[in-house]
Chains A and B, each alone.
Chain A
Amino acid sequence: METVPNTFPSLFWGYTILWVVLCVYIFSLGRRLRKLERDEHKQ
C-alpha cells in the first residue's frame, strides 16, 4: 500500500512564515495609522 510522505512539518513552517509576514505588515500599518490619528487629534 502506497504511503503518503510525512511532510507536515514543512507545511507547518511554510504557513507559519506566511502568516507571520502578513501579520507583521498589517500590524505595522495599524500602528502607523494610529500614530497619524493621534497626531491629528493633538493639532
Chain B
Amino acid sequence: MSSVEPSASPVVASASAASRWGRWDSVLISLVAAAILYSNYLIFLVVPNERLMGPVQRIFYFHVGSAIAGYCASGVMLVAALAYLATRDRRADVVMEAGAEAGLVFSTIVMATGMIWGHSAWNTWFRFEPRLVTFLLLWLIFISFKVLRYFGDPARIPLHSAVLGILGALTVPLVVFSIHLLPQSQQLHPQVVGNRGLAPEFQYAMFVAMASIVALTFLLIWLRTRIGFLELQKELR
C-alpha cells in the first residue's frame, strides 16, 4: 500500500501553524537554555566530588539524562511510526524522522560519555555485557534509520522507516531491563535501584540535569518537525 499524499491544504495548514508557533521559539529556547545553565551550575559548582572516582563522576548527570532523552525520543518515534502505519500520512513520517534524529544525537552522547567515564573509572572503554550491548544495538538502529533515509527506495522510505522505528523503540525496554540479567559483580555498569546510596545533593542535581536535557530533546524534536513540515510543504507545491 503506497503512501497517501496528504492534500495540500492540511499540509499547508500544518506548515503555517508551525510557522506561527515559531514566534514562541525564543521563549522556549530561553527557558530550556536557562534550565541547562542551572543544571551546569549545580553539576560544576554545587555538588561535591565523588570520593572514589573524582571529578569524572560528574559525567553521570548528563550521561543518565541523555539516556532518558534518547528513550523519550524513541517514544516519539514509536508513536509517529504507528500513526504513519495507520494513516500513511507523511506528516507522521516527518515527526518520526525528528524523533529518530534526536534519538541518534542523545544516544551518541550516551555512548561517548559512557566510554570516557568507563575508561577513567574502570580502565575499560567498552565491555560485552547486557546493558552496554543492548544500548549499542539501539544506537546502531538509529544509525540504520538515517542510512535508510539517505539510501532507501524513495517510494518506500516512510514505510520501511516506520518498521525500523518500531523495532528501535521496542529495544528500549530491553536496554532498561538488561541491567538485571547479570548480578552487579559480573558487570561494570552500575545497577541503580531508586535513589539507594545517592546523597540528597546528588539527587537534586540529577533531577535538574535529567529534566533540562529531556526538555531540550522535546524542543529539538519540535524544531526539527517544523523544518520537516516546511520541506514537505515545499515538496507538495
Contact = CB atoms under 8 A, between A and B. Distances in A.
A6 to B, nearest CB: 6
Interface string B50-73: 111111111100110010000000
Contacts of B62: 15, 18
A8 B59 contact: no
B234 to A, nearest CB: 7
A32 B223 CA distance: 11
B5 interface: no
A25 B105 contact: yes
Contact of A36 (B55, B223, B227): B227
B55 A7 contact: yes
Given A5-B53, A10-B56, A17-B113, A22 B105 contact: yes
Nearest to A18: B109
Contacts of B53: 5, 7
Contacts of A40: 230, 234
Nearest to B29: A26
B220 interface: yes
B56 A36 contact: no
B133 interface: no
Contact of B112 (A5, A6, A17, A39): A17
Given A10-B120, A15-B59, A18-B66, 12 more contacts: A4-B49, A6-B54, A6-B55, A7-B57, A10-B56, A14-B116, A14-B117, A17-B112, A18-B62, A18-B109, A22-B216, A36-B227
